[in-house]
Structure 1
Amino acid sequence: MTFSRRDLLATGLAAGTLPLVGSSPAFAQAAPTFTPEKGASLRVLRWAPFVKGDEDSFIANSKKFTEATGVDVRIDKESWEDIRPKAATAATAGSGPDIMMVWFDDPFQYPDKLLDVTDLATYLGGKYGGWYPGLEGYGKRGNQFIALPLAAIANAICYRQSMVEAAGFKEFPRDTKAFLELAKALKAKSKPMGFPHGKAVGDGNNYAHWIVWSHGGKMVDDSGKVVINSPETIAALKYARELYQQFIPGTESWLDINNNRAFLAGDISVTANGVSLYYSAKNDPKMADLAKDIKTVQLPIGPVGKGVELHQTTELVAFKHTKFPNAVKAYLQFMYEKPQMESWITASSAYCCPALKSYIDNPVWTSDPNHAAYKTASETLRPNGYSGPLGPGSAAAMADYIMVDMVAEAATGQRSPEDAVKRAEQRATRAYRNT
């Protein structure tokens, strides 16, 4: 449904405070009112999509906002790896996009440069079942929201059922010990596993954090003290070294796109990815047989005895340098309201797990068996700063790829596990001390 400015006047609501279609809560709850400035226009910078429906729906919803308010919205996109430096540059320079999609706890690198969105976040949380705690933490500093959590881009094992069976496994292993045995068997069949060891924002971070956490290692303790140099971390790195030797060669240079390409080309049989990998095959008639062979499952459980997964998280931040703060908030509110958010989640085909609890009831999560491994990401994710508080220290450590580098160095044999963890300890100590 498209709202005209006449519609807005007829409802008695200011532009940007749009009613829900077929739902009374919009009128029953006190919604904030954001009247866009005269002549306002917005520039939004987002990450390049891996699921076309995500981008198409996001653009369509933005056009609906323009039609309803007269505020022109320009949407640009950058590669995943370029989003972080682009956001940091905009914050430092005080110019650039009004709104950006960013990663993990990046907002904590420049909190004083961001628009306070507490009023909007409080309203949305109250209306849509509350924020999932893990995602809320990425947007909230103390009692203030410096970003609006948007989604968890869930990460799960994607595997070729036929190849796993050919390796002698009727079911996919659920623990790290059997997972290693599967890796050895798959290498013997010339269809090895492959996980990124390069500076891959999503897949590299998810894999590295899972390796360390599954064995009981962590970057910092509850107080934020660096404790990465531990027997548990060293055990994790020794495991990573043994696992890497079963991988396809070259994973040390892989970014987020490389494991996708290798899997779809048939060069590897197992990796971890978003559901986008499955849809890349499913939506290509030439890959129909491959799509039927793809199954998904959550990452194996290690010595800690429970699932510990990072998952890619993304937030929307608004910069203080914007000339149109009311238009910014009106746009954000519109994009999070039910008609727009539900359509975006549906079009994203289980790629984006919502930050607001009410949206997890979307039928998309049960529309395909391969979606099940991704549905719980927002509920179960472990923040990258585990087990300490999120803040400038955790953001600096993540931005510097400390965990990713440590695992890669040990796995590839560039450093011994002991030396890799000592270097990570030094870098992490510096990151937490200087912030």
Structure 2
Amino acid sequence: MNSFTPDRRSLLKAGGGLLAVAATMSAEELLGYARAWAQASPWKPEAGAKVNLLRWKRFVESEDVAFMKIVDAFQKATGVTITVSNESYDDIQPKASVAAQTGQGLDMVWGLYSLPFLFPNKCTDMSDVADYLGKKGGGWSKTGEAYGKLNGKWIGVPVAATGALVNYRIGAMEKAGHKEFPKDLAGFADLVKAMNKNGTPAGMALGHASGDANGWLHWALWAHGGNLIDANNKVVINSPETAKALEYVKGLYDNFIPGTASWNDSSNNKAFLAGQLHLTVNGISIYVAAKKDNPQIAQDMNHAHLPLGLDGKARELNLGFPILVFNFTKFPQACKAFTAFMMDPEQLNPWVEAAQGYLSPFLVGFTKNPIWTADPKNTPFRDVGETSLTPAGLGQMSENAAAAIADFVVVDMFANYCTGREDVKTAMASAERSAKRIFR
């Protein structure tokens, strides 16, 4: 290890000063560390390795810049060529599926939710990398393990989650009669209704928005005691509890800004930053953009967890980002080495800072990163890697659970009822049929 690099465990325990040094490490220093890391690494890349990596398109520019610096340092230190392509959230899964079916085109995918579970037999066993990172990063959260492991084997490595939390304008909330953000379902519904009456409406995606729509609609289902599947992976979506959730969401939807049934994952960001929208569910990317381009909005906005369920318990589906290596790659050692390098504390801590709260690692030690307390508006996002459920809810993550969220089974049920395409009974029956085709 060269002289500039702090002890590998120290970054997780350090105060803001040391982390600030790491975050501003020069390209030369980063390359020096990468060379030292590569020399000691148990994964030795194949000669002439060329790796094609697909990842989701950035929502926070500084996160992407930090990521590409890590890529550049790794390439120079190891001689591996890594070609990074970026796609929107909704295009990741189709492109990954094509590669899985054809056995070509991609070596690695940094995707959404339960992507490795869509084709577990096409994923390289990453248990050695996950064990290495768990020991260095303070251990994996339960949700991280659920996102990465199948039958005791790590089929993917869960990098981080981004919180599906409430972004709201403080002034509009207070004008609607709420001094604090409501923590119960009735208070939340009252807030949305009053904000609409005041001409400062809320809006959450009901279209095929992989992150935004899935996040808050699964919350609404779970908050009312509904579930797609039970603990034995039996389909139980057609229930009185689901009916209550549908009626609740319809009440919200009727007070939303028009057009949310066709929103994708960037629609609410644009509307909020344009001043058309005063409450939504999103990651921290709206706030990050506002601080840069519209400080008046940034000053007047804050974040909160979605309200507790009817039973007083919190249940959230935050957007997990797992990375997988296809087992048909010609360069498995290079892929493993890069995954381990990019998530090593020396890389991940400054990267988390650069992401400004958008990435909450599933490695428990990273909750100590000063980014979460440097600005109190960041703090709600700190623990989403620990508190989130997986898309399976009560059930076990599986190929079927991955297919259900990829097919928008829950989202379409809510959208069909809210837009009047189906009544409550028909919406639940349609979702039940779709789910039973998956969970045979």
Do the aligned residues in 1 keep the contact of 2:74 with 2:80 (CA within 8 Å)?
yes
Give the superposition deviation at 1:127.
Answer: 2.4
Question: What residue number does 1:430 align with?
Answer: 437
Q: Map 1:119-158 onto structure 2 (within 5 A).
A: 119-158=128-167
* 1:163 to 2:172 alignment: yes
* 1:390 to 2:391 alignment: no
Do the aligned residues in 1 keep the contact of 2:34 with 2:73 (CA within 8 Å)?
no
Q: Identity rate of aligned residues, in percent?
A: 40
**Amino acid corresponding to residue 361 of structure 1 in structure 2:** K
Counterpart Cα distance in 2 of 1:219 and 1:5: 47
Give the 3 Å change call, closer, same or farther, for CA 6–377 of structure 1 in structure 2: closer
Counterpart Cα distance in 2 of 1:288 and 1:341: 28
Give the 3 Å change call, closer, same or farther, for CA 402–326 of structure 1 in structure 2: same
Question: What residue number does 1:207 align with?
Answer: 216
Give the 3 Å change call, closer, same or farther, for CA 37–241 of structure 1 in structure 2: same
Do the aligned residues in 2 keep the contact of 1:203 with 1:273 (CA within 8 Å)?
yes
Q: 1:58 aligns with which of 67, 76, 92?
A: 67
* 1:414 to 2:421 alignment: yes
**Amino acid corresponding to residue 176 of structure 1 in structure 2:** L
Do the aligned residues in 1 keep the contact of 2:136 with 2:345 (CA within 8 Å)?
no
* 1:89 to 2:98 alignment: yes
Counterpart Cα distance in 2 of 1:153 and 1:409: 27
Question: What residue number does 2:371 align with?
Answer: 364
Aligned length: 412
* 1:74 to 2:86 alignment: no
**Amino acid corresponding to residue 166 of structure 1 in structure 2:** K
Q: 1:397 aligns to what SS in structure 2? A: helix
Q: 1:340 aligns with which of 344, 347, 357?
A: 347
Give the superposition deviation at 1:302.
Answer: 2.9
Question: What residue number does 2:278 align with?
Answer: 269
Give the superposition deviation at 1:168.
Answer: 2.0
Counterpart Cα distance in 1 of 2:338 and 2:179: 50
Counterpart Cα distance in 1 of 2:144 and 2:206: 25
Do the aligned residues in 1 keep the contact of 2:54 with 2:84 (CA within 8 Å)?
yes
**Amino acid corresponding to residue 136 of structure 1 in structure 2:** E
Do the aligned residues in 1 keep the contact of 2:35 with 2:78 (CA within 8 Å)?
no
Give the superposition deviation at 1:16.
Answer: 6.1
Question: What residue number does 1:314 align with?
Answer: 321
Q: Deviations over 1:254-310 (max 9, x none)?
A: 0111111111111121101101111111111xx121110011111112313111110
Question: What residue number does 1:232 align with?
Answer: 241
Counterpart Cα distance in 2 of 1:291 and 1:214: 29
Counterpart Cα distance in 1 of 2:343 and 2:208: 31
Question: What residue number does 2:257 align with?
Answer: 248
Question: What residue number does 2:338 align with?
Answer: 331
Q: Map 1:5-24 onto structure 2 (within 5 A).
A: 8=36, 15=38, 17-18=40-41
Q: 2:329 aligns to what SS in structure 1? A: coil
Instruction: Please tell me the root mean square deviation across aligned C-alpha atoms, in Å.
Output: 1.5
Q: Deviations over 1:196-245 (max 9, x none)?
A: 00000000001110110110100111111111111111000011111111
Do the aligned residues in 2 keep the contact of 1:16 with 1:331 (CA within 8 Å)?
no
Counterpart Cα distance in 1 of 2:289 and 2:346: 27
Q: 1:225 aligns to what SS in structure 2? A: coil
Do the aligned residues in 2 keep the contact of 1:16 with 1:34 (CA within 8 Å)?
no
Give the 3 Å change call, closer, same or farther, for CA 146–261 of structure 1 in structure 2: same
Q: Map 1:39-54 onto structure 2 (within 5 A).
A: 39-54=48-63
Which 4+ runs in 1 deviate beyond 3 A? Answer: 2-8, 15-18
TM-score, length-scaled by structure 2: 0.91
Counterpart Cα distance in 2 of 1:35 and 1:320: 17
Question: What residue number does 2:24 align with?
Answer: none
Give the superposition deviation at 1:176.
Answer: 1.0
TM-score, length-scaled by structure 1: 0.92
Give the superposition deviation at 1:6.
Answer: 11
Q: Deviations over 1:43-91 (max 9, x none)?
A: 2111001011111111000111112111122111001110010111111
Question: What residue number does 2:13 align with?
Answer: none
Give the 3 Å change call, closer, same or farther, for CA 418–345 of structure 1 in structure 2: same
Give the 3 Å change call, closer, same or farther, for CA 7–175 of structure 1 in structure 2: closer
**Amino acid corresponding to residue 421 of structure 2 in structure 1:** Q
**Amino acid corresponding to residue 55 of structure 1 in structure 2:** D
Q: 2:302 aligns to what SS in structure 1? A: strand
Question: What residue number does 1:29 align with?
Answer: none
Give the superposition deviation at 1:157.
Answer: 0.5
Do the aligned residues in 1 keep the contact of 2:162 with 2:358 (CA within 8 Å)?
yes
Give the superposition deviation at 1:3.
Answer: 4.3
Unaligned runs of 5+ in 2: 1-28
Question: What residue number does 2:5 align with?
Answer: none
Counterpart Cα distance in 2 of 1:85 and 1:371: 32
Question: What residue number does 2:25 align with?
Answer: none
Do the aligned residues in 2 keep the contact of 1:16 with 1:330 (CA within 8 Å)?
no
Give the superposition deviation at 1:105.
Answer: 1.3
Q: Greater shift after overlay, 51-60 or 68-77?
A: 68-77
Counterpart Cα distance in 2 of 1:374 and 1:359: 12
Give the superposition deviation at 1:2.
Answer: 3.5
**Amino acid corresponding to residue 312 of structure 1 in structure 2:** L
Give the 3 Å change call, closer, same or farther, for CA 279–6 of structure 1 in structure 2: closer
Do the aligned residues in 2 keep the contact of 1:240 with 1:410 (CA within 8 Å)?
no
